Structure 1
Amino acid sequence: MTPYPIHTESTAGETAAEPLRVLAKAFGFVPAAAGLMANSPALISTFFAAFGHFRGGTFGPAERQVLLLANAVANRCEWAVAFHTLESIEDGVEPAVIEAIRRGERPGDPRAAALWAFTRSLIEKRGHVDDGEVAAFRSAGFTGEQVFEVITAVAISAMTNHTANLARPALEDVLVPHAWTAEYSTGA
């Protein structure tokens, strides 16, 4: 159990309460990582703004989830893997793609594989990807703009994943069926 309070719309300070209200409406509950980030109005506000821009970008819902799930596995964040597994299912990601990513393996779908490979490379190499990796991502049908949108996904994932890794919240009931441990992943 986390030693940090997991805030709700009613327990968060005024600045942090509004993002939590919006997230509760969107998901039907305040995700634990967001409730934890509300301990810092600067963190929850920055996350909320960046996440809004990411959702308004050029990736569709399923592609966003492939990116976020790949980030969660790369960051070995048990809470975020469970959360993004649920969201991936709801957003129509193919079950075989979800399972491959959870195992830390390249998905069989070429477009999902390109998203997975590029996001993992950005994380592992801390942005020092080579031109060939960018070219491979672009040859899968992605744009130059989307190269930078992947960076946005990595940034918002760092905020949630690092928060959840630090605080280790219990999974919400809806996430329990999607529990994951880092040992499950062959690529972690």
Structure 2
Amino acid sequence: MSRVPLLTPETAPQAAKPFLENALKTSGFIPNLLAVLANAPAALETYVTVSGLNAKAELSLADREVVQLIAATTHGCDFCVAGHTAVARNKAKLPEAVIEALRQLGELPDARYETLAAFTREVIATRGDVSDAGFEAFRGAGYTDGQALEVILGVSLATLCNFANVFARTPLNPELAQYRWEKPAS
């Protein structure tokens, strides 16, 4: 059960209603993350705005989903792991072996994705103070300086979502149930 109300277009503050209505129109349901964020319309608007900006990044959708899944698993956000698993499978078309490795906190079977994952983990662990070796490995995999900053953009977006969901104890929507995730035992 959520610690905060899951708001609907009927119960949300006026400033949050258009965002919830748009989600319902485009997705056919309101992801509970948005229903939680609607309690703070500025947080919901930040999520929608930054998501839109992140979508314009030079990183491919598949790369952005690697970043999102690394952040969500690192932060222990079961809701975001489920949601991004759905996107990774259905829209980004990431290989299933890559998705499963991300979900199981394992090494990725694709060298370029593994380099991106390692860089993202280091960004999170060091709060951006990535080692020269980590940055050079990222560049060596064909990523650009701008894409390094886009990883940080993705991590910042993920942090808002992951922390909000963990704080709120956001329940998984039935539409995402098939993508349910539990952190693997260490």
- TM range, smaller chain: over 0.9
How far apart in 1 are the matches of 2:152 and 2:97? 25
Matched residue type, 2:152: I
Match of 1:101? 102
Matched residue type, 1:38: A
For the 8 Å contact 1:67–1:116, the answer to whether it is kept is: yes
Residue 20 and residue 104 in structure 1: after superposition, are their counterparts in 2 closer, same or farther (change >3 A)? same
For the 8 Å contact 1:34–1:160, the answer to whether it is kept is: no
For structure 2, list consecutive stretches of 5 or more residues without a partner in the other structure.
Answer: none
For the 8 Å contact 1:82–1:180, the answer to whether it is kept is: yes
Match of 1:67? 67
Structure 1 residues 54-63 or 156-165, which shifts more? 54-63
Secondary structure (helix, strand or coil) at the match of 2:16 reads helix
Match of 1:90? 90
How far apart in 1 are the matches of 2:10 and 2:71? 30
Match of 1:152? 153
Offset at residue 21 of structure 1 (A): 2.9
**Residue 24 (structure 2) pairs with residue 30 (structure 1):** no
Matched residue type, 2:149: F
For the 8 Å contact 1:70–1:116, the answer to whether it is kept is: yes
Match of 2:12? 12
- TM-score of the pair, normalised by structure 2: 0.93
How far apart in 2 are the matches of 1:29 and 1:185? 32
Match of 2:172? 171
Match of 2:141? 140
What RMSD in Å do the two structures reach over aligned CA positions?
Answer: 1.4
For structure 1, list consecutive stretches of 5 or more residues without a partner in the other structure.
Answer: none
For the 8 Å contact 1:72–1:161, the answer to whether it is kept is: yes
Residue 25 and residue 118 in structure 1: after superposition, are their counterparts in 2 closer, same or farther (change >3 A)? farther
Name the % identity.
Answer: 34
Match of 1:113? 114
Structure 1 residues 64-73 or 12-21, which shifts more? 12-21
Offset at residue 116 of structure 1 (A): 1.0
Residue 173 and residue 150 in structure 1: after superposition, are their counterparts in 2 closer, same or farther (change >3 A)? same
For the 8 Å contact 1:5–1:39, the answer to whether it is kept is: yes
How far apart in 2 are the matches of 1:68 and 1:27? 19
Paired residues in the alignment total: 185
Structure 1 residues 55-64 or 4-13, which shifts more? 4-13
How far apart in 2 are the matches of 1:62 and 1:145? 17
- TM-score of the pair, normalised by structure 1: 0.92
